[in-house]
Amino acid sequence: MATLKDVARESGLTVGTVSRVLNNRGYISDSAREKVDQAMKKLNYRPNEVARSLSKSTSSTIGVIVPHIRHPYFTEMISNLEYQAYKKGYKVLLFNSRNTVEKEREYIEMCTGNKVAGIILCSGTVPVEVFGQIGIPVVTIERFLDNGMAAVECDNRQGGILAAEKLISCGCRHLLHVGNIGGVFMPADMRTEGFREVCEREHVPFEELLTEEIQYDSMMYGDMLEEVLRKYPETDGMFVNSDVIAAQTLQVCRKLHIDVPERLKIIGFDDVFLSTLTTPQLTTIHQPIREMAEIALNLLHDSVSGKLVAKRTVLPVSLVERETT
For a second copy, the closer of residues 151 and 289 by Cβ is 289
Sequence-distant (≥ 6) Cβ neighbours of residue 324 within 8 angstroms: 246, 250, 260, 261, 265, 266, 267, 268, 280, 281, 282, 283
What's the min distance (Å) between Cβ of 139 and a second copy? 18
For a second copy, the closer of residues 164 and 293 by Cβ is 293
Sequence-distant (≥ 6) Cβ neighbours of residue 195 within 8 angstroms: 160, 161, 163, 164, 177, 206, 239
What's the min distance (Å) between Cβ of 274 and a second copy? 7
What's the min distance (Å) between Cβ of 236 and a second copy? 19
What's the min distance (Å) between Cβ of 268 and a second copy? 12
What's the min distance (Å) between Cβ of 86 and a second copy? 7
For a second copy, the closer of residues 62 and 172 by Cβ is 62
For a second copy, the closer of residues 110 and 184 by Cβ is 110
What's the min distance (Å) between Cβ of 48 and a second copy? 7
Secondary structure in 3-state letters for the chain: CCCHHHHHHHHCCCHHHHHHHHHCCCCCCHHHHHHHHHHHHHHCCCCCHHHHHHHHCCCCEEEEEECCCCCHHHHHHHHHHHHHHHHCCCEEEEEECCCCHHHHHHHHHHHHHCCCCEEEEECCCCCHHHHHHHCCCEEEECCCCCCCCEEEEECHHHHHHHHHHHHHHCCCCCEEEEEEECCCCCCCHHHHHHHHHHHHHCCCCEEEEEECHHHHHHCCCHHHHHHHHHHCCCCCEEEECCHHHHHHHHHHHHHCCCCCCCCCEEEEEECCHHHHCCCCCCEEEECCHHHHHHHHHHHHHHHHCCCCCCCEEEECCEEECCCCC
For a second copy, the closer of residues 31 and 57 by Cβ is 57
For a second copy, the closer of residues 52 and 196 by Cβ is 52
User: Is the CA virtual torsion 80, 84, 89, 92 positive or negative?
Assistant: negative
For a second copy, the closer of residues 189 and 281 by Cβ is 281
What's the min distance (Å) between Cβ of 220 and a second copy? 9
What's the min distance (Å) between Cβ of 72 and a second copy? 8
What's the min distance (Å) between Cβ of 251 and a second copy? 5
Distance, CA of 14 to CA of 33 (rounded, Å) = 12
For a second copy, the closer of residues 54 and 310 by Cβ is 54
For a second copy, the closer of residues 14 and 48 by Cβ is 48
Binding site residues, a second copy, CB under 8 A? 1, 46-51, 53-54, 59, 61, 69-70, 75-76, 78-79, 82-83, 86, 91-96, 109-110, 112-115, 135, 219, 244, 247-248, 250-251, 254, 273-274, 277-281
